[in-house]
Copies of this chain bind each other. A is one copy, B any other.
């Protein structure tokens, strides 16, 4: 336990701005040689669900949640100034201008740098998200016990 050179991030939010923060920290930490683990739970799960995925066997409530919060990297909204999608569109353009990578590029970079991405079992079940509908970047599926074990060995654990 001496030198905890690790970061654990709980990606709870599905908002573009917060996900940018999560991946900036994750890729920055991985680049500086830290071990990084990301747990996607609740709204955060929507990011790692494949775009256009239409899971079967959902009840009407799960369908409603699924329909109202779109999956994938491109459909994320902003926590403020969303303005029916105008906010995220502007922010993406501004980031591109400043040569900040897109969320999709950050995710790919994180993956290639060895950032571990885990989907939360309980949230998946509640929201009716199947293993098959998850992005290929996702390593595994686990619950809170697995998260705690990693977080205990991290120098910082962030809830974003």
A residues contacting B by CB (< 8 A) are: 1, 3, 5, 7-8, 10, 12, 14, 17-18, 20-21, 24-25, 28-29, 31-32, 34, 41-43, 59, 61-62, 64-65, 68-69, 79-81, 90-91, 93-95, 97-98, 100, 122, 125-127, 143-145, 147-148, 151-152, 154-160
Contact = CB atoms under 8 A, between A and B. Distances in A.
B90 A64 contact: yes
A3 B1 contact: yes
Count copies of this chain in the complex.
3
A52 to B, nearest CB: 21
Contact of A148 (B8, B21, B34, B148): B34
Contacts of A97: 59, 126
Q: 7 closest pairs, A vs B, by CB?
A: A28-B144, A156-B157, A61-B90, A158-B159, A98-B125, A98-B126, A152-B155
